[in-house]
């Protein structure tokens, strides 16, 4: 017999999985709390208990995926020895994420659109991006030896390139993406390395 903690963990995971499916199918605004709970074979009360509401569920889903991708990127960066290898590791994990069954980046774009119309979501996303920008700036400073911050430009370019690749996969090949990222990193020191 499952313990209460195991049942809670199962309910949480079922809600996350159901939300991922529905957000991919219907978008954030088109996915109601009741529909998510029904797909998970749970109650809307369980969703509110675990996540506080649909926004909390959305944020938890994305944070989990982002955290898992960050672990993979960190492991790949630890073995990379050149700037191009580092940029390739970052690009590869954004353009073909190892988690979220291909839905992570699509949901990231959906969240951006949702946040443009929803102030609490915008504030949450802004805090998350500021932390990511800081992390990128620290890493790039280690790779290049200093210079001006480029976190917002690098992450914006990554997401934009990934979006264009979804629209037309042939238009954004890996070499183009890495060259563009190298150009942004080069802005930090005044010349690409």
Confidence of residue 189 (pLDDT cuts 50, 70, 90): low
For residue 130, the model assigns a pLDDT of 94
What would you report as the CA-atom Rg of the chain, rounded to the nearest whole angstrom? 19
CATH 3.40.50.1220 fits 59-189, yes or no: no
Half-sphere exposure of 46 (CA within 13 A, CB side): 21
- The sign of the torsion formed by the CA atoms of 112, 116, 122, 126 equals positive
Distance from CA of residue 6 to its chain's centroid?
Answer: 27
pLDDT at 191 over 50: no
- Reported residue count of the chain is 193
Q: Could you give the maximum distance between any two Cα atoms of the chain, in Å?
A: 62
For residue 24, the model assigns a pLDDT of 83
Least confident of 7-21, 35-49, 138-152: 138-152
Q: Domain map of the chain by residue range?
A: 1-52, 59-189
pLDDT at 2 over 90: no
The model carries a pTM of 0.81
Among residues 44, 161, 188, the alpha carbon closest in space to that of 105 is found at 161
Query: How many CB atoms lie under 10 A from the CB of residue 147?
Result: 16
Superfamily of domain 1-52: Homeodomain-like (1.10.10.60)
Half-sphere exposure of 177 (CA within 13 A, CB side): 29
Asked if residue 193 lies in contact with residue 186, where contact means CB atoms within 8 angstroms, the answer is: yes
Span 67-125, pLDDT tens digits: 888 899 999 999 999 999 999 999 999 888 887 677 777 788 888 888 999 899 999 99
DSSP 100: G
pLDDT at 192 over 70: no
Confidence of residue 11 (pLDDT cuts 50, 70, 90): very high
Mean pLDDT over residues 133-144, rounded? 90
Q: Alpha-carbon distance 31 to 174, whole Å?
A: 34
On average, the pLDDT of the chain sits at 89
pLDDT at 193 over 50: no
């Amino acid at each position: 017999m499952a313990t209460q903690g195991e049942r809670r963990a199962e309910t949480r995971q079922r809600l996350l999985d159901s939300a991922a499916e529905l957000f991919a199918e219907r978008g954030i605004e088109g996915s109601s709390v009741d529909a998510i709970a029904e797909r998970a074979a749970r109650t809307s009360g369980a969703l509110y208990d675990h996540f506080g509401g649909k926004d909390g569920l959305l944020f938890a889903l994305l944070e989990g995926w982002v955290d898992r991708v960050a672990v993979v990127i960190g492991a790949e960066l630890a073995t990379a020895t050149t700037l191009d290898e580092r940029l390739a590791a970052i690009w590869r994990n954004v353009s073909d994420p190892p988690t979220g069954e291909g839905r992570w980046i699509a949901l990231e774009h959906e969240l951006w659109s949702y946040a443009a119309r929803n102030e609490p979501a915008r504030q949450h996303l802004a805090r998350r991006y500021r932390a990511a920008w800081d992390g990128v700036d620290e890493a790039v400073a280690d790779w290049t030896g200093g210079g001006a911050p480029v976190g917002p430009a690098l992450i914006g370019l990554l997401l934009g390139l990934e979006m264009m690749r979804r629209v037309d996969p042939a238009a954004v090949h890996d070499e183009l993406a890495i060259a563009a990222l190298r150009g942004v990193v080069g802005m930090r020191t005044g010349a690409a390395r």
